[in-house]
Structure 1
Amino acid sequence: QKLLWPRVGICTEDRLYYRMKAPSFRDEGDILRIEQGERVCFDTYFNSVSADKWRRYTAAQNFSLRLKLSGKLRVVLCSRHFINSQSVRAVLAEKVVQADSVQEFCFDFPKGADGMLFFELQALSGNAAYCGGAYECDAAEKDVQPVKIGVDICTFRREPFVMGNIARMRSDILENAASPLHNHMEVFVSDNGQTLDYDKLNSDTVHVVPNANVGGAGGFTRGMIEILKAN
């Protein structure tokens, strides 16, 4: 699960990606500069990982974290559980690393770590920087299955949003041979308003179908029916 950055046109709310007290400063090329003593927490919507769900729905078992860092930083591996309606944070491991230039480091979460896994960074020098990374897992090759994802979109006269989302998925995934999801994803749009340009949007990987105005539940149900038919 790749660690994500704010993106113009997608989402620019920093706190959905990482949280820090000081104003964030990012260089071009996705480099987050961290002031000495400052902490950055990644227990966020986009950059935490649900170990329980990965184990339930995939062959993943144990997890690790790969980060690109420079400077001197303390890396803290954490988990979070909801207990009695309270969010409880636990420290699982920590390590201090140092690099004069950007280097890649790997950190293992303890075996069997569960809940929401995430990490925190504390800058121990004035030239510390975070440059991205990913969560990884171990899985036996025999357990890995070919997967194809069907994206179900329901819309009612929201043409600019739908067309923008389709364009991004085309450029980033559907027509991008470098994407891990290339040839493993198709998009199904249930058009409750019957206002989209089907000839312009339809392709081998994008399927727009006219639908009666049956609300969100009816629209998403139609999308799931089309996905099952295609499969």
Structure 2
Amino acid sequence: MKLQSLLYPTKQICNEEALYLHRDGSLLSFDGFFNFFYLEKHHKYCSIESLSLELSIRGIKKLQIMHDSDVIEEFVIEIPTASGMERLKGITPDPFSEDKRISIDLPYNQYDHGVFWFRAEIEETAADWDISGFYCADGNKADESPIEIAVNICTYKREKYVVRNMRSLMEWLEATDIDDHRPEVADHLHVFIIDNAKTLN
């Protein structure tokens, strides 16, 4: 089950980069408020047996998995070598130009407190980079409860924000992840807009 998507700043929601990630040269640290995976809350409220970080990357040469400020695991991204025929023809493929799917098992049961996050190092020779993904959990089906989410919104003098936020929510519900799946919550989310002043068209 997908628990939490990797987020980036957006003009519509929040454009403050430090709330998502921090950049330092070729290093991207996904250690902002919106991208931390908070362990204590998940241990308290979820029946998670195993946790993984599912990523689609391009132009990245190294990943570090972090718990708070400690590196707990490091991955050097394997670079494919040119085939015999490519070498004969003098073709030099760019190993960092294609998207690569990575699944990383996280030591969820070894930590009760703190946060998981990750750091990525961009390959200097890459023309472009991209990282997308999510935290994914497997849990005990017997412990699952059917859950519905209700969102109540009152328009009171905030009509333009209600319209903007509903548009963003609808776009998010139709968006797909790196596995081409819609959010699992999409079929369990109910939004009620209360237009007290009758000012919403």
Is the structural similarity TM-score above 0.5? yes
Confirm or deny that 1:102 pairs with 2:90.
Answer: no
CA drift at 1:139: 0.9
> In structure 1, what is the equivalent of residue 122 of structure 2?
123
> In structure 1, what is the equivalent of residue 142 of structure 2?
142
> In structure 2, what is the equivalent of residue 32 of structure 1?
none
1:1-231 correspondence to structure 2 within 5 Å: 1-22=4-25, 38-80=26-68, 89-99=69-79, 100=95, 101-110=98-107, 111-114=109-112, 115-127=114-126, 129-154=129-154, 156-173=156-173, 178-189=182-193, 194-197=196-199
Q: Deviations over 1:96-134 (max 9, x none)?
A: 113422111111222323411100112354217233111
TM-score (norm 1): 0.64
Amino acid at match of 1:63: L
Relative to structure 1, the CA distance from residue 58 to residue 154 in structure 2 (aligned partners, 3 Å threshold; closer, same or farther) is farther
Amino acid at match of 1:126: T
Q: Distance in 2 between matches of 1:64 and 1:21?
A: 26
TM-score (norm 2): 0.73
Q: Distance in 2 between matches of 1:161 and 1:71?
A: 37
Q: Is the 8 A contact 2:62 2:75 kept in 1?
A: yes
CA drift at 1:150: 1.5
Computed over aligned residues only, the root mean square deviation of the Cα atoms, in angstroms, reads 2.8
Report 1 or 2 for greater relative contact order, CA contacts < 8 Å, sequence distance ≥ 6: 2
Relative to structure 1, the CA distance from residue 166 to residue 196 in structure 2 (aligned partners, 3 Å threshold; closer, same or farther) is farther
CA drift at 1:72: 4.9
Structure 2 unaligned segments of length 5 or more: list them: 80-94
Aligned residues: 174
Q: Look up the SS of the partner of 1:161 in the other structure.
A: helix
CA drift at 1:172: 3.1
Q: Distance in 2 between matches of 1:2 and 1:43?
A: 14
CA drift at 1:137: 1.6
Amino acid at match of 2:17: D
> In structure 2, what is the equivalent of residue 218 of structure 1?
none
| Identical pairs, percent | 26
